[in-house]
Amino acid sequence: MILLQKKDRKEIDTAPIARRFSVGECRPETVILVLDRFTGDSDLSEWQFCVTGVNTIHEPVSKQATIRQISKDTVSLLWEVDGAFLQFAGVLHLELQARTADNAKCIVFRMDDIWVSPAVWGNGMPTVARMQEIYCQMHQLYDKMMQLSLRLPKISDAGTWMLYDSETGTYVDSGIRCEATYITGITLDKGADGKIVSGTAEMSDKTSVDIVIKELEESP
């Protein structure tokens, strides 16, 4: 089975294997990936490759892809689709990562999603214990989200956002400047009769705004 890189794109067409695999298959099947040898100024003939993915229960999977053949314009890789990729039925999200030996450079080729078909009796679906574990994790995330939703961000005296830390139970200065302008102080002026007639509001951006006091007219 051969998968080709899409023309002038860092993407690989997985249509030939889109529905080829079923859950629980443990016999490795070899797929050949054919890439352009040159990407920009990079020659991929001496790079290292790894197919990585995320299965339907959001668990990561990966497998090294070895170089099979190098030609003038292409690099052919061997990828063994083993049982690690086929543990669970559903959508399998994939990508091919290419790196230099020193990890100084990295290129990611997106691969179209493939579908792992379920077995007749539902084999490969998460076990009851795994489903309970996922439920507990979701419940913990929900509790944390509700806790954070009740403690909205605050503005510090320095004009930065203070965020609530659920681990320590305190607000922590994020260092992120608050773009909004807010009042830092108000000065009021009184007239001869002692009534407040005007004032000035000092703003966080060092500007000031005049405050005009208007008396309400008495109703007849």
pLDDT digits (tens, 9 = 90+) for 34-59: 999 998 888 999 899 999 999 888 88
The CA angle 77-79-80, to the nearest 5 degrees, is: 150
pTM over 0.85: no
Q: 93: phi > 0 → left, psi -120 to 50 → alpha, else beta; which?
A: beta
Reference 113, options 12, 208, 22; nearest CA is 12
| pLDDT at residue 109 tops 90 | yes
Q: pLDDT at position 43, please? A: 92
- The one-letter amino acid code at 12 reads I
Burial class of 151 by CB neighbour count within 10 A (0 to 12, 13 to 18, 19+): middle
| pLDDT at residue 28 tops 60 | yes
